[in-house]
Amino acid sequence: MQKSAETAQTVIKTQLTGYDLVNKPMLNKGMAFTERERNVFRLHGLLPPHVGTIEEQADRRLKILRAFSTDFERYAFLRDLQDTNETLFYHVLVHHLEELLPLVYTPTVGEGCQHFSEIWRKPRGLFLSYPNKHRMREILADPRFDHVRVIVVSDGERILGLGDQGAGGMGIPIGKLSLYTGCAGIHPELTLPILLDVGTNNRERLTNPLYIGWRHERIVGTEYDEFVEEFVNAVIERWPNVLLQWEDFAGTNAGRLLQKYRDRLCTFNDDIQGTAAIAAGTLLAAINVTGISLTEQRIAVLGAGSAGCGISSLLLRAMVDAGLSEAQARKAFYLVDRNGLLVEGMEGVTSAQAPFVQSRETVAGWGDASNHIGLLEVMQRAKPTVLIGVSGQAGAFTEPVVRAMAQNVERPVIFPLSNPTSRSEATPQQLVEWTEGRVLIGTGSPFASVQWKGSAIHVDQTNNSYVFPGVGLGVLATGARRVTDAMFMVAAKAVAAMSPTVKDKTATLLPPVDQLRDVSMAVAKVVARQAQEDGVAERCDDAIIDERIRAIVWEPKYLPYELAE
């Protein structure tokens, strides 16, 4: 892009004309090409004679979108729009975030991944398949990717709460990067979705004649690790300063891959760190209502995988910052996995779970003959003030569990965070009824408001989109070399600081979804400053950081075109 001396506007110069121009999603303007541009770029006849505006086009697309009968149809329609006219897609998304966020990402993206093979039409992102491992550097070398600064990568093994979707998992990187642009304004040409296609153990996918991925069982062990190592090395060589986000890897790989590579490139895992930050931010907002300080919280977490441990680790650090010793803070956590409450001496406890095991002395007399301590007994014995679900088990927060919690806490804080909606540990309606309307709720996917005694109770979507786009923007603005845990802590506090409960205890816990761009800007600023404090970015004045952030943010609108020589 260059500045035009005559108009002082930003213009786009391109050599593409005719079909080549309108078939490039990032350059296509449809009927909004002006008469001058139609003359210069030989577009007459390819387009209807009417010269329209982006606002008219948005209205036309929204009318079609709203006429569909299912959200999956709307998801497929939006994917087609993104692959046809990218500027228009983002214009619609930015101006209708609350309506479109559930379609572009959770919960509808889950169904999109399940049926990705059926709706795939045009290339977007890269499929790096195991049989092509020797071509990896050749694939990444394409000049189209010269400007890439943010990568989201998945291997499709643990898509939301839906499990192994193989190559269909590409829907997740595409959706996440759409939110980097929609919520934080990072230009689409700076982003690249990648799917590591290492096979799938999903028999339904393997036997589907339309499946687009590598028809092979998942590679594991040394072969898998060597493939990922080759990928990371190729990325570092191609883009030494790229931000790489790991997304929806299985619990057996998510944490260890993050630990293995976090000091080799600028990288984070959103399922671990982003989920932790938004859970912490929402809890801090809830404290404005409950009046129970962070140091007095007792936190039960159902699902002690990468997400559950990530949430617990960040909240533990927040408790220590608030004045507790680490030993005191650890005692406040009750992590329940498939084998019950984590207790010292249990077999199979991972290094990530180890800090949160309860002592045998604490739980003496708890459990059954097999020493299994379930969630209900944790509610009855530990009397937690907070209950968080990242189990992927629909209905796991049963009525007895919730009522037991509500008996001991005036304003129970309950976050069923599992995605998509079909995997939520409880519905908001159930939680409101079982707590007689006293519950404070945060859900992973969007839910409609709940009616209780003639009043509508808003349900906050405790979604990572409040955090990761701003983290990415802050990293890009400073050129940070690494992503630190402290960046997610300040991101959580920034979200909490924007909570409407700061001024009104009866208000929602989180800012409205249509304010996500403002939230991302606030998160970006504190993350950028924290990067400097942590020594992973060069120091500069706050005014310079703010200017760099503003310079990155892209507004989806049509620009004048000029023919390049």
Q: What is the DSSP letter of 143?
A: G
Q: How many residues in the chain?
A: 565
Candidates 51, 116, 43, 497; CA nearest to 108 is: 116
Catalytic member of 29, 75, 90, 176: 176
489: Cβ–Cβ under 8 A, 6 or more apart, which residues?
A: 277, 280, 314, 317, 318, 321
Residue type for position 556: P
Candidates 469, 334, 429; CA nearest to 389 is: 334
171: Cβ–Cβ under 8 A, 6 or more apart, which residues?
A: 109, 112, 113, 116, 159, 165
Task: Report phi then psi at 122, rounded to 5.
Answer: -125, 150
Q: How far apart are CA 276 and CA 487, in angstroms?
A: 12
Candidates 294, 291, 264, 268; CA nearest to 279 is: 294
Q: How far apart are CA 375 and CA 384, in angstroms?
A: 11
Q: How far apart are CA 364 and CA 93, in angstroms?
A: 54
Known catalytic residue at 176:
yes
Q: How far apart are CA 55 and CA 60, in angstroms?
A: 9
Q: What is the DSSP letter of 51?
A: -
Residue type for position 127: F
Take residue 364 and report the two structure tokens written for it. 């003496």
Burial classification of residue 419, based on how many CB atoms lie within 10 Å of its CB (0-12 exposed, 13-18 middle, 19 or more buried): buried
CA distances from 345 to 224, 244, 361, 371, 375 (A): 31, 37, 12, 11, 19
Q: How far apart are CA 444 and CA 410, in angstroms?
A: 23
Candidates 422, 497, 511, 413; CA nearest to 461 is: 511
Contact between 14 and 561 under an 8 Å Cβ cutoff? The reply is: yes
Handedness of CA 124, 125, 130, 136 (dihedral sign): positive
Note the Cα 539 to chain centre separation in Å.
28
- Break the chain down into helix, strand, coil percent, rounded to 5: 50, 10, 40
Q: What is the DSSP letter of 67?
A: H
Contact between 473 and 553 under an 8 Å Cβ cutoff? The reply is: yes
10 Å Cβ neighbour count for 196? 22
Residue matched to tokens 């950081």: 545
Catalytic member of 29, 75, 90, 105: 105
Catalytic residues: 105, 176
